[in-house]
Every structure is written in C-alpha cells, then in structure tokens.
C-alpha cells in the first residue's frame, strides 16, 4: 500500500501578546513539543486522529496555553473546559463542553467518539463518562494558577459583563469600548494528514476569562470551531468563539472547497479575512488539505502556530 508524506500543524491561540512584550521562547518550545508529539505518532504509521490528540494533549499539559492545566477562570472563579475531535476518514466526531476536573479534555472528547453513540456531552454527564472510561482526572489545585486568578481580577475590575479573550490583544465585551488584556495564552488545536491519506482535527480550550458559567464557544461545535473531511480538509479554529459559531467557519471552508472548487488557501482567506472579519470576528485557524497543503490564516495581531512535515524539523511562528 502506497503512503503519502505526513504533515501536522498546531495552534496555541490567535491574537497574541504584542511583539515587544514578554519572552517568546517558551511558546515556541511548547508549540514544537506538541508538533513532535503528533509527528511521533505519524512517523510510526499512526492515524491522523491519534496524532492530533497527542499534539493537543501536549498543549493541554503546558500551562502557557488556555487549555487543560492552563485553563482560565469563569466569573465564578471555576474552570469549564471544552474540547473536540473529528476524523476526516468517516466524519465521526466527539466533543465535550463545560467540563471540570478532567486533566485532558481532548481525551474525553475522544472517549465520546469511541464509547458512545453521541457527538457532544456536557457538564456532569461528560465528567461521568470520564470516570467510567478511566480518563485521567485532576483536583482543583492542578488547574489553579495565581497568574490566571490575577487575570480574572483584572478583567472583573473593568466592570460587570466584561469578558477577556485572554490570548488576544482584542477582547470580547458586552460594552462598546473594548479593554486591553495582556493575555499570553490561547485556545489550542491541531490538524494532520497521515501516511494513509486521512485528515483529522482536534481542539481544546478553557474559554473566556470571566465568562458566564455555562457559556460554550465554537471549540466543541462541529462545523464551527472544528471540521475534518478527507474530501477537502481538516480545520481547527481559535478566536472570538461567538463569531466563529455564527459564521460556521469550519464547514464554510469545507463547503467552498467542495462546492466552489476553491483551494484551501482561497477558502481560508475568504472566510477569515472576509465573512468572519465583516461580522467583527477576530482570530484564525490551522488547516491541511488531502494533498498536504497547510494554510494558517489569521486576522489578529498574530497567532501561535507551527507546522512539521515528514523528514523535516518543526517550525513555529507567532507574528506574521
């Protein structure tokens, strides 16, 4: 059986810190570690689905990013995490929303896909599945961060109803004047093409700092924050989730390729710099098509992102 060269791409959130702010090196290290984790699966002949899960789990285990142990605080000073996975070879998907105490939410999303007849489980029902399937749990101390708590307090000080996209120089707010929050973290995601020609995607997030408990963004929603189909591409999004939901970003890119014959780059540019931007959305995505082309567009200041191809070293980027 013939094989194709594998490729994997990851993101750690769009928006980013300003170029003159903070040390970039740890973020590059985190992104490249995730790329190597996914590439190790692909190098061994593993599936794109297993690879993106491995890459996202690596990012969930890195406190620099808003997922897993780096998840931000809700308005109640708790953690509610969302995650999803999708297999482009059969359109199977699994997702969880509003979960707490789960060390790697992306592993729980995979359990929903593999061990239930459902696509999306939320809250306590999802946590119960984690316990039934032996998905690793962690106590509240594992998710606690003084920096994250201080971040919540800074956002709260801006007034009631304000929420910060912690990974962005821009913010999502119910008030007309946006605040600036010096976020250094972001939603995480991965896409891959394996040696068998299959694509897959995975996404995980802690959501918005000071979000209303129960809020769910685009990350666990198939067709919005994630999509994968061997006929076209795999996509993992990051940014202002409400806008990505309204624009159905993941499926729109797929549809443009499937029905209009657009390339991965044409479709991604049209959505990220067109429809998404037109409705006020900020963010970006990583994507790969069935031929191994990678496109990582964003309309924000920057996006933590990286790519690794078979036989090559990992590459990571933050700004343009």
Residue 218 assigned to a binding site: yes
| Distance (Å, whole) CA 308 – CA 314 | 4
User: Pick from 108, 150, 159: which is nearest to 131 by CA?
Assistant: 108
How remote is the C-alpha of 135 from its chain's centroid? 20
Residue 116 assigned to a binding site: no
Three-class SS of residue 166?
coil
Lookup: tokens for 255: 């549809």
User: Catalytic pick from 16, 187, 209, 232?
Assistant: 187
Q: Is 187 a catalytic residue?
A: yes
Residue 189 assigned to a binding site: no
DSSP H helices, the chain, are: 25-43, 48-60, 105-115, 123-133, 140-143, 146-156, 241-247, 249-260, 264-270, 276-278
| Distance (Å, whole) CA 242 – CA 240 | 6
Residue 15 assigned to a binding site: no
Residue 216 assigned to a binding site: yes
DSSP H helices, 74-195, are: 105-115, 123-133, 140-143, 146-156
Residue 238 assigned to a binding site: yes
User: Pick from 232, 247, 315: which is nearest to 10 by CA?
Assistant: 315
How remote is the C-alpha of 137 from its chain's centroid? 20
Residue 156 assigned to a binding site: no
Residue 177 assigned to a binding site: no
Binding residues for substrate: 215-218, 238-241
Binding residues: 215-218, 238-241
> Which residues are tagged catalytic?
187
């Amino acid at each position: 059986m013939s094989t194709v060269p594998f490729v994997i791409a990851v993101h750690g959130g769009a928006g980013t810190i300003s170029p003159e702010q903070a040390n970039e090196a740890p973020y590059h290290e985190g992104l490249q570690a995730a790329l190597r984790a996914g590439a190790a699966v692909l190098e061994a002949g593993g599936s794109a689905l297993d690879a993106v899960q491995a890459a996202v789990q690596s990012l969930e285990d890195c406190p620099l990013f808003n997922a897993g142990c780096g998840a931000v605080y809700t308005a109640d000073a708790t953690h509610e995490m969302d995650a999803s996975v999708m297999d482009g070879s059969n359109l199977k998907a699994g997702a969880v929303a509003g979960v707490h105490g789960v060390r790697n939410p992306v592993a729980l999303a995979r359990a929903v896909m593999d061990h239930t007849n459902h696509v999306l489980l939320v809250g306590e029902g999802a946590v119960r599945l984690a316990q039934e399937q032996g998905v690793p749990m962690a106590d509240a101390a594992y998710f606690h961060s003084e920096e994250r708590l201080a971040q919540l307090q800074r956002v709260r000080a801006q007034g009631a109803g304000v929420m910060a996209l912690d990974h962005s120089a821009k913010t999502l707010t119910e008030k007309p004047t946006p605040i600036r929050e010096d976020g250094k973290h972001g939603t995480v995601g991965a896409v891959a093409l394996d040696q068998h020609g299959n694509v897959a995607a995975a996404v995980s997030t802690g959501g918005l700092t000071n979000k209303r408990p129960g809020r769910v963004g685009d990350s666990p929603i198939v067709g919005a924050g994630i999509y994968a189909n061997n006929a076209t591409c795999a996509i993992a999004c990051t940014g202002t989730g409400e806008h990505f939901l309204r624009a159905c970003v993941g499926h729109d890119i797929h549809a443009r390729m499937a029905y209009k014959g657009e390339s991965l780059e044409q479709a991604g540019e049209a959505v990220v710099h067109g429809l998404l931007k037109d409705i006020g959305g900020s963010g970006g995505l990583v994507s790969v098509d069935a031929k191994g082309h990678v496109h990582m567009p964003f309309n924000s200041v920057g996006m933590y992102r990286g790519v690794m191809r078979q036989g090559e070293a990992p590459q990571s980027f933050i700004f343009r």
